[in-house]
């Protein structure tokens, strides 16, 4: 190689190293600035599984003041404190210029003694806010360590911290202490919020949920563990990004729910096209809650279920059981439910707490014949399985609670329960046309939400009263029963519709309608 060529190569190498070095410095500085600019967000998400964000804009507060849902959900005490803070900060021109036009982050986090605290955070950026500036708040200010206690009047009290060009406010000492202790570390949830906030610029407010951390918040609200119908909220590796829509008679959220784990049961439905929901047509009128699933392609879905069972080390046990059944009863068990299944299944709970599983089927008479040797007659219309776990083997997690159930088949509905008396309640309601779909409240709920879904959850407030009296801690059950709480709300729904690996989501909390309003809908 000539001396000239060697010099050219050396020069090129130095140029490349120089460019790489400058690029590294540029992007590392950019990332550092970005982390500083998002310090408020990264700090709050470390403690709060539920995040509410909005722009500090007069129009937002004008709309919020015209609806009551925040007061009814949060309770009088926290709502009043938020109103006091709004008056002290937003309506105070000497203070509002700190946060004018900036994003407000409101996080809900677990507190002490089974409470739910909140933390408000705003990234101030390049603004010098100090203790002297706080005097404009017109509050009694007391310095306590690395935070301030603010007292408004005789009762309203909150705690404030200034950190990394961000302002943090909490209703509790523990909340502000937790915020001060939090580090500005990497967070998948914070990154998820940042990514999705780019697509939500035209919405008034947004809610983000980290289902993985949600149990830490719910354990302060519930007496029970997150099993059964509450398993949706139990350590799910999933995030939701939802837009908040205001209304006087409902809370409506729209957006996406994203399941991050491949070994999550709900992930099995991420590529199943939504279906028009019809299975709820047979549910008894005393239904308190239900979870329903639609499966467009059972063969494809079943392969995914088997992969999940393999991952959970259940596959060998299931295969062995099926082989023993095939040999003992001289049938092919794989030709039962997979052959006769008809796209929809559900698990519901009655107001008494009893649980029922329903599977829509084709050719119910043939399936009944197929299952004759596998079951024993208990009553003229009710039989019981001889072998356990069959429904869980074919339909997964929701049906594992029916280990060796009683069953009946009526009008191509395969219905199971752990008690024969529960099935009799179902049959009596069905034949007497005492159904959920015949009630005015459910009719109105269905009118307000999409008729199609891949997965849907529903809670009927009135029918769930006894269940919640056992599951909710006393202060929250009081809020549930209070006229100033959610007593006037009758229905909660959460719909998931598969969309390219994620779920389009609709969340609805609906108020009761007066008789006149409901009657007017009929004409």
Q: 280 versus 474: which is more confidently predicted?
A: 280
For the chain, helix, strand, coil in percent to 5 are 40, 30, 30
Per-residue pLDDT for 29 more than 70?
no
pLDDT at 2 (0 to 100): 54
Query: Tens digits of per-residue pLDDT, 429-461?
Result: 999 999 999 999 999 999 999 999 999 999 999
Structure tokens at 240: 């939701």
Mean pLDDT of all residues in 256-270: 92
Confidence band of 38 (pLDDT split at 50, 70, 90): confident
Mean pLDDT of all residues in 205-212: 93
pLDDT at 20 (0 to 100): 43
- DSSP readout, 38-72? THHHHHHHTT-SEEEEEE--HHHHHHHTT--HHHH
pLDDT at 249 (0 to 100): 77
pLDDT at 362 (0 to 100): 96
pLDDT at 515 (0 to 100): 40
| Residue closest to 241 by CA, chosen among 227, 253, 229 | 253
Structure tokens at 288: 């308190």
Query: Tens digits of per-residue pLDDT, 391-415?
Result: 999 999 999 999 999 999 999 999 9
Confidence band of 70 (pLDDT split at 50, 70, 90): low
Q: Sort residue 231 into left (φ over 0), alpha (ψ -120 to 50) or beta.
A: alpha
Per-residue pLDDT for 334 more than 80?
yes
Q: 32 versus 50: which is more confidently predicted?
A: 50
The domains of the chain are located at: 36-244, 262-520
Q: 92 versus 273: which is more confidently predicted?
A: 273
Q: Which 3-state string (H, E, C) describes 276-342?
A: ECCHHHHCECCEEEEEEEECCCHHHHHHHHHHHHHHCCCHHHHHHHHHHHHHHHCCCHHHCHHHHEE
Confidence band of 28 (pLDDT split at 50, 70, 90): very low
Percent of the chain at pLDDT exceeding 70 = 84
pLDDT at 516 (0 to 100): 39
Q: 420 versus 15: which is more confidently predicted?
A: 420
Per-residue pLDDT for 219 more than 70?
yes
Mean pLDDT of all residues in 464-490: 87
Enumerate residues 6+ apart whose C-beta is below 8 A from 165. 36, 39, 123, 124, 125, 126, 127
What is the rounded average pLDDT for all residues in the chain? 85
Query: Tens digits of per-residue pLDDT, 484-519?
Result: 788 888 899 999 999 988 999 999 999 887 543 444
pLDDT at 127 (0 to 100): 60
Ranked by mean pLDDT, the top range of 51-55, 69-73, 512-516 is 51-55
Query: Tens digits of per-residue pLDDT, 147-160?
Result: 999 998 777 889 99
Per-residue pLDDT for 122 more than 60?
yes
pTM: 0.87
Mean pLDDT of all residues in 4-33: 43
């Amino acid at each position: 190689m000539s001396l000239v060529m060697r010099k050219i190569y050396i020069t090129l190498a130095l140029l490349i190293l120089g460019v790489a070095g400058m690029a590294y410095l540029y992007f590392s500085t950019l990332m550092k600035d970005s982390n500083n600019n998002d310090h408020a967000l990264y700090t709050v998400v470390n403690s709060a599984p539920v995040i509410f964000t909005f722009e500090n804009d007069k129009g937002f507060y004008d709309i919020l003041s015209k609806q009551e849902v925040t007061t009814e959900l949060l309770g009088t005490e926290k709502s009043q404190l938020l109103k006091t803070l709004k008056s002290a900060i937003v309506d105070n021109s000497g203070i509002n210029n700190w946060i004018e036009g900036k994003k407000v982050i409101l996080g809900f986090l677990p507190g002490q003694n089974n409470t739910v605290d909140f933390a408000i955070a705003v990234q101030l950026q390049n603004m010098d806010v100090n203790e002297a500036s706080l005097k404009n708040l017109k509050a009694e200010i007391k310095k306590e360590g690395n935070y301030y206690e603010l007292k408004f009047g005789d009762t309203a009290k909150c705690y404030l911290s200034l950190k990394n060009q961000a302002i943090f406010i909490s209703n509790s000492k523990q909340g502000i202490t937790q915020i001060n202790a939090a580090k500005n570390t990497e967070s998948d949830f914070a990154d998820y919020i940042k990514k999705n906030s780019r697509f939500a610029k035209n919405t008034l407010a947004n809610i983000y949920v980290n289902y993985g951390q949600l149990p830490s918040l719910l354990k302060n609200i519930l007496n029970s563990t997150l099993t059964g119908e509450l398993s949706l909220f139990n350590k799910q590796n999933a995030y939701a990004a939802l837009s908040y829509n205001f209304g006087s008679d409902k809370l409506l959220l729209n957006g996406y729910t994203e399941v991050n784990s491949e070994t999550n049961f709900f992930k099995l439905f991420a590529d199943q096209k939504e279906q028009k929901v019809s299975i709820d047509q047979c549910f008894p009128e005393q239904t308190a809650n239900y979870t329903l699933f639609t499966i467009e392609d059972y063969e494809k879905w079943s392969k995914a279920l088997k992969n999940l069972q393999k991952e959970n080390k259940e596959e060998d046990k299931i295969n062995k059981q099926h082989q023993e059944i095939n040999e003992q009863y001289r049938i092919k068990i794989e030709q039962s439910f997979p052959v006769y299944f008809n796209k929809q299944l559900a698990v519901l709970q009655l107001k008494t707490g009893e649980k029922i599983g329903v599977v829509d089927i084709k050719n119910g008479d043939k399936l009944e014949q197929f299952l004759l040797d596998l079951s024993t007659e208990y009553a003229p219309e009710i039989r019981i399985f001889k072998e356990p776990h069959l429904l869980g083997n074919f339909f997964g997690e929701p049906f594992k609670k029916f280990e060796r159930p009683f069953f009946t088949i009526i009008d191509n509905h395969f219905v199971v329960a752990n008690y024969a008396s529960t099935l009799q309640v179902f049959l009596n309601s069905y034949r007497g046309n005492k159904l959920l779909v015949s009630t005015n409240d459910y009719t109105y709920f269905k009118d307000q939400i999409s008729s199609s879904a891949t997965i849907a959850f529903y809670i009927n407030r009135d029918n769930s009263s006894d269940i919640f009296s056992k599951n909710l801690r006393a202060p929250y059950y009081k809020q549930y029963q209070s006229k100033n709480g959610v007593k006037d709300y009758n229905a909660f729904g959460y719909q998931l519709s598969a969309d390219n690996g994620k779920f389009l989501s609709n969340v609805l909390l609906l108020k009761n309608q007066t008789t006149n309003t409901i009657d007017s809908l009929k004409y």
